[in-house]
Structure 1
């Protein structure tokens, strides 16, 4: 049941950033790429291992390897530069004809998709956290307040990866839940041998350094990632906002920079979390993906499959173009890992408003979008120790990522497939989502 095409998902206040165009049929070779991609580059999955002879042959085909993104299954995935002046489309067609190549594709560019004592909760602003019987109350909120009343507020032993911009890890509402890597202290060495030196808070794949927050004291960079983090796990009783989890640990996999982010960097971010879980046994239960904008990528789908095999959910924004993802697929939310992992680890999220209506900008799909969650007038943390209200499926997605973490905190040992099913089974039937999502309903974490 799913998935494929392009999205732009940040909407700030009333400004909806909806960009995207129809793409090639799922799994087909793009002949004319409508979505933006990195000029002069292609991603090349080899049929076998990487050798000097293979590199020489690739050179004769007019490409030069810039970096190896993955060696999963013994087949190297390369980010390669075109050296003979051909267009991306021409080079893909040429490479696909070579027996050395499993597939070649563009390096797509992605964009954003946007009872505690905390003041924004007590004054009713955080409607997305409210429940039927909470004070204040809103039946169309995530029902997180109902879970808190039952004593379920999350656990620091549960981890969520934020694949997005970076986030302000010392924000008053985030610093209590921000990861500090105990395996690689700041000393100029790669102590844990994962290829990233001093990745103390995660890694910035966009700028290739360990500085995951670039917003400064008054800047606007990393506002989207900071907002997402606050919804997942803003700490409680400290005067600002509160997230679905009062206690959780989030790690930054920053790949979106000033001009968006590429497929190559998104793949590295996904694999970073898979490696952290495998290498250190971190209980990473979900990856939040509030972004989109490129066409179908076999290389990215393969990375998402690797996350599924690692027992990690991939929670993705449905998109902000107001279109049907069943007919015009949207990536990454339209990916389905069933064939590669034995189950689908993707949860695609639509946005609803405080009245339960499907947001006018939200993409939907009876078979391709799983569930609705609060995504209109969502207040959360932003840089400079401040708060702001954003709209978007970007804002709905972290409610669901937070739900996955909350469920994991009360159901030790639950698999990604079990957590996914629990979230979908708990969805409350909602008129605006009937025939528009797989569940026909909205997020409800009251039983978590």
Structure 2
């Protein structure tokens, strides 16, 4: 179903944007966006299996480099690959020259910049009963909106989710004490707060998840003023704000368990931390058997990363869908065609190791009148479906509610759909869940020829 990819493509986190991809060992011919930002003087270097210390030292010597960090997540421990390291190189060496020198070394499998990811949510100006929460409506709900996700119809049929279904929120942090989110946050039974890494995953006391940007277990840093982590709190509310409690908003799932994989900080996030965040959820599922059905990825920016694609594929091998925002276009605010201009991570194709399905779902945004949101990227072969993404109300920090627009807002509707389907279909595989989402879309003229399905999200049967 997907995808075309570019050698280099810009990535900008999405409350508005997200990006496209390439298959392992194969780059596509999509045009690249203008050079994306990366951390100056840093490179991710994947050494070949069996490379000696001398060989690795020789390779880094080409760029006057030194190892800042060996990235060895629990999910990588048995993959048979060589070392993946974050390296620093001499600041007067251009990044392109450094990557070229590393790639020419026989000990190196790949080398790439440490891309920077960001989000660009827009706020306008509160919820279900007053007509504000249109993204949850259906044509048979009251209030009604045929272009909503139809979640209200699923609720009326008794499908409101389950706490036994888990989702990962890879984003900013989350105000998990918000009165509409506090009942659904994960409390880690494998690693109680005692200053010890009881489950041996490398993260001490990861009670609600982990902050990979700050390298600590504090997944919310906004304080009582809500200075930070609005974006992560907003997307989490769309996935799983508590429903039927008489306050605020309701998520697609009234009951679900969300886990934070915070990697976006004050200055955005990096590829190195994105890899660790993706692998964190893979390890939780493979080691502890948590029913993690999907991660929500409302972010983007940067170019193609083999290291990040490898992590996404490890998640896909474990049956975790990677649901990603299609992106919000460029600086002109007009959506771009992801078929011709690659946008990561939404364009990645997650099909390695013989998987019969692509674990990535790319999501465009639509308005309450069914139009494709003007800012939303699209792609007949690279974007799967549309979902509500303009004027979306949800939870924000601190104990507030706000309306944002972006493909970042559309994406958690689809992640919520994956969790809602899993709650009613306990044995469903990731491939089955993805097929259920894509096969149930409603044909929508604004998405015809603009997405794989030509339709919008419909969870009424979930």
Contact 2:390 2:406 in 1 (8 A): yes
Deviation, structure 1 residue 56: 2.9
Contact 1:326 1:367 in 2 (8 A): yes
Deviation, structure 1 residue 84: 7.3
Q: Among 106, 111, 115, which residue is 1:99 paired with?
A: 106
Using the alignment, how far apart are the partners of 1:241 and 1:160 within structure 2?
19
Report SS of the residue matched to 2:395.
strand
Asked if 1:271 corresponds to 2:275, the answer is no
Contact 1:158 1:248 in 2 (8 A): yes
Using the alignment, how far apart are the partners of 2:436 and 2:32 within structure 1?
40
| TM-score, L = length of structure 2 | 0.90
| Paired position in structure 2 for 1:231 | 238
Report SS of the residue matched to 2:114.
strand
Using the alignment, how far apart are the partners of 1:406 and 1:76 within structure 2?
38
Deviation, structure 1 residue 220: 2.4
| Paired position in structure 2 for 1:365 | 379
Which deviations, in whole Å up to 9, do the C-alpha atoms of 1:399-425 show, x marking residues without a partner?
000000000001112111110011000
Report SS of the residue matched to 2:44.
strand
| Paired position in structure 1 for 2:332 | none
Contact 2:3 2:21 in 1 (8 A): no
| Paired position in structure 1 for 2:427 | 413
| Paired position in structure 2 for 1:164 | 171
| Paired position in structure 1 for 2:454 | 440
Contact 1:6 1:332 in 2 (8 A): no
Using the alignment, how far apart are the partners of 1:270 and 1:148 within structure 2?
30
Report SS of the residue matched to 2:80.
helix
| TM-score, L = length of structure 1 | 0.93
Report SS of the residue matched to 2:223.
coil
Using the alignment, how far apart are the partners of 1:19 and 1:126 within structure 2?
24
Using the alignment, how far apart are the partners of 1:341 and 1:220 within structure 2?
44
Q: Among 57, 67, 70, which residue is 2:69 paired with?
A: 67
Instruction: Show structure 1 runs of 4+ deviating over 4 A.
Output: 17-23, 30-33
RMSD (CA atoms): 2.2
| Paired position in structure 1 for 2:340 | 327
Count the aligned residue pairs: 437
Using the alignment, how far apart are the partners of 1:55 and 1:74 within structure 2?
14
| Paired position in structure 1 for 2:12 | 8
Deviation, structure 1 residue 360: 0.3
Asked if 1:391 corresponds to 2:440, the answer is no
Deviation, structure 1 residue 341: 4.7
Using the alignment, how far apart are the partners of 2:378 and 2:207 within structure 1?
38
- 1:231 to 1:317, Cα distance in 2 relative to 1, 3 A: same
| Paired position in structure 2 for 1:258 | 266
Deviation, structure 1 residue 55: 4.0
Contact 1:22 1:328 in 2 (8 A): no
Using the alignment, how far apart are the partners of 1:44 and 1:33 within structure 2?
23
Using the alignment, how far apart are the partners of 2:20 and 2:240 within structure 1?
33
- 1:104 to 1:33, Cα distance in 2 relative to 1, 3 A: farther
| Paired position in structure 2 for 1:220 | 227
Using the alignment, how far apart are the partners of 1:21 and 1:297 within structure 2?
11
Which deviations, in whole Å up to 9, do the C-alpha atoms of 1:214-256 show, x marking residues without a partner?
0101132000000000000000123110000000000000000
Asked if 1:249 corresponds to 2:257, the answer is yes
Gaps of 5+ in 2: 330-334
Deviation, structure 1 residue 54: 3.8
Q: How does 1:193-208 map onto structure 2 within 5 Å?
A: 193-208=200-215
Report SS of the residue matched to 1:316.
strand
| Paired position in structure 2 for 1:284 | 292
| Paired position in structure 2 for 1:182 | 189
Deviation, structure 1 residue 393: 0.2
